[in-house]
């Protein structure tokens, strides 16, 4: 890291710890594995749309799109990373509830982008400090 000029960055050791936690925990590691050989991953996918009469811009952290053998989109999974200071079940549940409107809006954006029904779009909140996943 220091050869890239990041050595003095105080947040770097904590960020690396969080990444290691995510990749060493089975529930979170699974979110980085493709569901099939035909899966496509969108990272930092920006969208603009009118939602409930309001112009909205958003950025989805990670979306995994799966397709059938013919190339048709069959499902999507939204994965949103949260770096909140949330480590207990109670705090994580409260935070997840607070993020529910954002996740609902992202799902509506994915309906428009993929043509999928909302029931075919899964969503996971990943609390990086705790290495925990909350299905939404």
Instruction: DSSP letter for 18, please.
Output: H
Condensed to tens digits (0 to 9), the pLDDT of residues 11-44 reads: 778 778 888 888 888 878 888 888 889 999 999 9
Condensed to tens digits (0 to 9), the pLDDT of residues 94-119 reads: 999 999 999 999 999 999 999 999 99
More confident call, 24 vs 91:
91
Instruction: DSSP letter for 69, please.
Output: T
């Amino acid at each position: 890291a220091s050869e890239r000029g990041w050595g003095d960055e105080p947040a770097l050791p904590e960020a690396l710890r969080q990444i290691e936690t995510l990749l060493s925990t089975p529930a979170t590691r699974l979110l980085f594995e493709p569901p099939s050989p035909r899966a496509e991953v969108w990272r930092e996918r920006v969208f603009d749309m009118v939602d409930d009469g309001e112009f909205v811009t958003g950025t989805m952290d990670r979306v995994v799109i799966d397709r059938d053998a013919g190339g048709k989109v069959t499902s999507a999974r939204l994965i949103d990373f949260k770096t909140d200071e949330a480590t207990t079940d109670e705090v994580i549940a409260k935070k997840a509830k607070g993020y529910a409107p954002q996740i609902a809006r992202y799902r509506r954006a994915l309906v428009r982008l993929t043509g999928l029904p909302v029931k075919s779009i899964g969503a996971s909140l990943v609390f990086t400090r705790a290495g925990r996943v909350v299905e939404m």
